[in-house]
């Protein structure tokens, strides 16, 4: 049935038809374009081409939640748009899983979208191949340094943090073991990197989401205590 639906690219990104709204990826892409007013018309065309390419590459692939997989790259690109990253970063965010998951090659991306965008996607693919296996602080620090050293372009790290943030926001759909592994890795590796880059809001949210997965009972108790404390302070003010 999915093969019979038009790609969201064939629809107006700002005024999707009723048929487009039925597709999560179409309405998600429309929401993304609403955030891209800081880009020029030519750059918006490039973003739409990147979306079309990623949409076709991920056709038939689904997330653990049951949503079409393309909704994840769109969400990552949306976070990058919130940070006003440039057109190459937005395009790379949309295509960040195409090499690793869908067999797209770097030369193909260079030919279609240019070397700078292809380098970003390739950099993200290399980061994804690294696996963190222990909580030992020295090893965690070495792993963080390796990530930062491998990402010669800071945009790679920013896209990776957006990718991890969206994964953490939707981690509930995954199995218990995978949730724990991703949360631990996020707390030990990615939250500290966000902190070092001065991304305080992302740092706090990654910590909060990870803590909620690793220690749900403690998180619930602390959340109630914080809510009570805030209520008391509000009354005093």
- Catalytic residue numbers? 100-101
Query: DSSP letter at 14?
Result: S
Expressed in angstroms, the distance from the first to the final Cα of the chain is 57
Rg (CA), the chain: 19
167: left (phi over 0), alpha (psi -120 to 50) or beta: alpha
* Cα separation values, 150 from 123, 129, 156, 168, 187, Å: 8, 12, 9, 23, 20
* Residues written for the chain: 237
- The residues, any chain, with a CB within 8 Å of residue 179's CB and separated by 6 or more, are 171, 172, 213
Q: What CA–CA distance (Å, rounded) separates 171 from 165? A: 10
Residue 68 bridge partners (DSSP): 62
Handedness of CA 146, 152, 154, 160 (dihedral sign): negative
Task: With H, G, I as helix, E, B as strand and everything else as coil, classify residue 203.
Answer: helix
């Amino acid at each position: 049935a999915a093969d019979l639906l038009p790609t969201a690219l064939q629809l107006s990104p700002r005024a999707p038809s009723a048929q487009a709204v039925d597709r999560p990826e179409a309405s998600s892409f429309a929401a993304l374009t609403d955030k891209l007013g800081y880009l020029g018309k030519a750059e918006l065309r490039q973003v739409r081409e990147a979306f079309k390419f990623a949409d076709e590459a991920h056709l038939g692939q689904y997330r653990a939640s049951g949503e079409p997989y393309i909704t994840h790259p769109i969400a990552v690109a949306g976070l990058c748009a919130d940070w006003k990253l440039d057109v190459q970063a937005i395009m790379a965010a949309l295509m960040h899983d195409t090499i690793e998951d869908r067999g797209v090659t770097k030369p193909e991306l260079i030919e279609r979208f240019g070397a700078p965008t292809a380098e970003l996607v390739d950099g993200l693919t290399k980061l994804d191949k690294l696996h963190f296996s222990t909580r030992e602080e020295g090893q965690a620090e070495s792993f963080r340094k390796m990530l930062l050293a491998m990402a010669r372009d800071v945009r790679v790290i920013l896209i990776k943090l957006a990718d991890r943030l969206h994964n953490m926001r939707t981690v509930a759909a995954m199995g218990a073991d995978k949730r724990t592994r991703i949360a631990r890795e996020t707390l030990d590796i990615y939250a500290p990197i966000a902190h070092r880059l001065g991304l305080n809001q992302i740092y706090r949210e990654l910590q909060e989401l990870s803590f909620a997965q690793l220690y749900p009972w403690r998180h619930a108790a602390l959340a109630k205590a914080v809510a009570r404390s805030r209520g008391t302070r509000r009354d005093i003010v």
